[in-house]
Amino acid sequence: TGQEKGRTKISDAKWDGRNMYISYEIIGASNGIVCIRDVNNDYNGIDLVSGQEIWNFSDGERGMPLPPVLSDGKLYAIKEEYLNGVTLNYLIAVDIFSGQMIWKTKIEENVDTAPVISNGFAYVGGYFGGNHYLYFIDTMTGDLKWKSSEPVSNYYVSDGKVLFVKS
């Protein structure tokens, strides 16, 4: 009908019973939950039917401008942490039903690609000293399964197969 049915304040979100209006980023929706990221890189899970906030995830660390990804009931995001003047990068997995962090895996290099999820693995690219490397991380455990030993200039993931070009 085009008429507003109500509003819910969630990280400056507006809900009309059918549509959500926010000034921040919608990551995606899965199983009736909309996941959003605000300007502080905090994440919210919002019930798609009621528009009510289900959870808020904030670990006090900065997020990266790289887009987060939803897959298999998890939100995957790159986070930065500062320790003694050094920037550390992590890939985190957050349960979209509870908002609880499932795991946090350190990436040795500076991350320069958003995570790609395929067949139970998260693929993340990082760079150091002008060279790019590729990480394979198990999405169930967060365990690093493999890191390219040689620099990679580009990669493509499809159906669990990875094509990468060495630098």
One-letter identity of residue 82 = Y
**Hey, which residues does 58 pair with through a beta bridge?**
none
Lookup result for tokens 């159906």 = 159
Predicted pLDDT at 5: 47
Number of neighbouring beta carbons within 10 Å of residue 161 = 9
Predicted pLDDT at 148: 78
CA 36, CA 150: separation in Å to the nearest integer?
A: 36
- For 42-72, the pLDDT digits (tens) are 888 998 888 888 999 987 666 666 788 999 9
| DSSP structural state of residue 48 | T
The token pair that represents 85 in the structure block:
């003047």
**Hey, which residues does 101 pair with through a beta bridge?**
94
Q: What is the mean pLDDT of residues 121-135?
A: 82
Are 52 and 61 spatial neighbours (Cβ–Cβ below 8 Å)?
no
Residue 58 parent element (H or E): none
Predicted pLDDT at 99: 94
Predicted pLDDT at 132: 78
**Confidence class of residue 152 from pLDDT cuts 50, 70 and 90?**
low
CA 74, CA 112: separation in Å to the nearest integer?
A: 21
Predicted pLDDT at 166: 58
- For 10-38, the pLDDT digits (tens) are 545 555 566 655 557 888 888 899 898 87
Predicted pLDDT at 144: 93
Compute the radius of gyration of the chain from its Cα atoms.
17
Are 137 and 146 spatial neighbours (Cβ–Cβ below 8 Å)?
no
pLDDT at 6 over 50: no
Predicted pLDDT at 154: 63
Predicted pLDDT at 48: 85
**Confidence class of residue 116 from pLDDT cuts 50, 70 and 90?**
confident
CA 28, CA 31: separation in Å to the nearest integer?
A: 10
Give the chain's mean pLDDT.
79
In three-state secondary structure terms, 94 is: strand
The pLDDT > 70 percentage for the chain reads: 71
CA 69, CA 149: separation in Å to the nearest integer?
A: 26
Q: What is the pTM of this model?
A: 0.78
